[in-house]
Structure 1
Amino acid sequence: MLGILVQLIISWLILRFIAKTSMDVLGYRINTTRLLLCVGLLLFTTMAALLAYALRWWFGERWGMNPSFSLLLLANGIWWNIKSVLFEELIFRGALFYLLIQWLGAKKALWLSAAAFGVYHWFSYEILGQPIPMLVIFLLTATAGLVYGYAYLKTATLYAPIAMHFAWNFTNNFLFSGGQIGKGIFVLLPTDTVQVGYIAFVLVQYLPLVLFFVGNYFLLKRFGKVYVGKQHQAPQL
């Protein structure tokens, strides 16, 4: 929590003394329109993430309730994911992103922020020196960074990328115990080894991601208001 507070203070200083504006540009004031759009993005992203596990279930994998599950574990899981998402969003879609929009324009700022987001995950995933994993992770996380950044540009609020980011991370990391936090709500049960063809593997791995990226992009394009600083026009991805 202390780290988030420090980030908020630094964000205020950057916006106040460099950008000559206020924290309002990060869209912290909620209204009905923003709330409904963010809820829609959260629900759609959750469904996209769940698709991966529905496909894995179809091909023979099984999950069961974590025997150690408790309300305290749930609270800790929610809070851990909120903190990790806030940390990343304040860095990559916060005050610095706003400055880049003003200095470079929306399109360049968006691509630069997304690239930095991809590189950051080389370190968070500890895959430096592994060319193939580095390439795959960069492409996936940088694309996610494009969608998250576009969400800010189209809604003028950090709540939009936070909603998508949290939904994806919570579903994968905690709901189905795939993250660093350890066992969450559901755990993978022992089953016979599941063998699938190449097409099935690609569907399980990438169809949910494509749905997440493309679906959210069109939701934002359709329902988000245009906001990019100087240009007043959202870039086309």
Structure 2
Amino acid sequence: MLGIIIALIVSWIVLYLFEKESILCLGFLPISKRAKQLIIGFCITAVLCVFTQISVMLLKGSSFHLSTNYSLNLLASMFWWDLRSVLTEELVFRGALLFVLIERLGMKTGVLISAAAFGIYHWFSMGVFGNIFPMIIVFIGTGLMGYAWALAFAKTNSIFLPIGLHLGWNFTFNTIFSKGPLGQGLLTETGGSLISDWFSLIGLWVVPLVVLLIIKYWIPTELTEQLNLKTNTSANTSNVH
């Protein structure tokens, strides 16, 4: 929790120093709209994660069962861990710095820099730094996902859709399917045979591409909507005169 508070304070300072803005410029308002975006993002990646895990399960011939030690308290604590890690990463990679980059360098450049930074960060968080081939694989996969989430920020002018997308994947992967660093969550995988490591690219490369396509073609750009609204308003005013 302390890390989140520090990230918020640093974000506010960066935004004020570079853009004379408050933390609210990261799109906290209106609350109802942002909550809806968060839920939509969560559902998108949660469904994709379930599909990915079922696909791998069928390929391996394994099965999932309820963990013997799961409890509501355990799931709540795991969710809280997922939420804290997501909020921290989003404030760093899709927060004040991305806002400043977009304002100073434009959306395309800002999103690309954010995506590259996210990919490089995962060299260290996933422990692959120094191994060239895994570094390439991880950079492409996490960079693509970082690009999709940064684009979501740019199109909605808010951090809430990226938070939802990030949390939906992490919670489902870590807590529901027990695949992350937290140990057993709700489900445990048993049985099955080994499959090629290439099938791991389903989750690492295919899912980010699907998310990117959804963000690119399904999520509307709020700035465009605002400009269209202003144009229509101006046109109506002109017709009145």
**Fold conserved (TM > 0.5)?**
yes
Alignment correspondent of 1:12: 12
Distance 1:117 1:226, change over 3 A: same
**Deviations 1:38-87 (CA, angstroms, capped at 9, x unpaired):** 32222121111111122123331111111110111111111011111111
Distance 1:66 1:96, change over 3 A: same
Question: Counterpart of 1:215 in structure 2: which amino acid?
Answer: I
Alignment correspondent of 1:101: 102
Alignment correspondent of 1:81: 82
Distance 1:135 1:51, change over 3 A: same
Q: Which of structure 1's runs of 4+ aligned residues deviate more than 4 A? A: 194-198, 200-207
Alignment of 1:226 onto 2:223: yes
Alignment correspondent of 2:211: 212
Alignment correspondent of 1:234: none
CA distance in 2, matches of 1:21, 1:112: 21
Following superposition, the deviation at residue 141 of structure 1 comes to: 0.6
Distance 1:143 1:195, change over 3 A: closer
**Deviations 1:78-108 (CA, angstroms, capped at 9, x unpaired):** 1011111111110111111111112211111
**Deviations 1:138-167 (CA, angstroms, capped at 9, x unpaired):** 000111111111111111111110000000
Distance 1:152 1:192, change over 3 A: closer
Distance 1:178 1:115, change over 3 A: same
Distance 1:217 1:175, change over 3 A: farther
Where 1:18 maps in the other structure, the secondary structure is helix
Where do 1:11-160 residues align within 5 Å?
11-59=11-59, 60-160=61-161
Gaps in structure 1 of 5+ consecutive residues: 228-237
RMSD across aligned C-alpha pairs, in angstroms? 2.2
Alignment of 1:164 onto 2:165: yes
Alignment correspondent of 2:237: none
Question: Identity, % of aligned pairs?
Answer: 32
Following superposition, the deviation at residue 29 of structure 1 comes to: 2.1
Question: Does structure 2 retain, via aligned residues, the 8 Å contact 1:151–1:160?
Answer: yes
CA distance in 2, matches of 1:63, 1:172: 13
Structure with higher Rg: it is 2
Distance 1:57 1:26, change over 3 A: same
Following superposition, the deviation at residue 35 of structure 1 comes to: 3.0
Following superposition, the deviation at residue 174 of structure 1 comes to: 1.6
Question: Does structure 2 retain, via aligned residues, the 8 Å contact 1:51–1:208?
Answer: no
Question: Counterpart of 1:167 in structure 2: which amino acid?
Answer: G
Where 2:139 maps in the other structure, the secondary structure is helix
Following superposition, the deviation at residue 192 of structure 1 comes to: 4.3
How many pairs align?
223
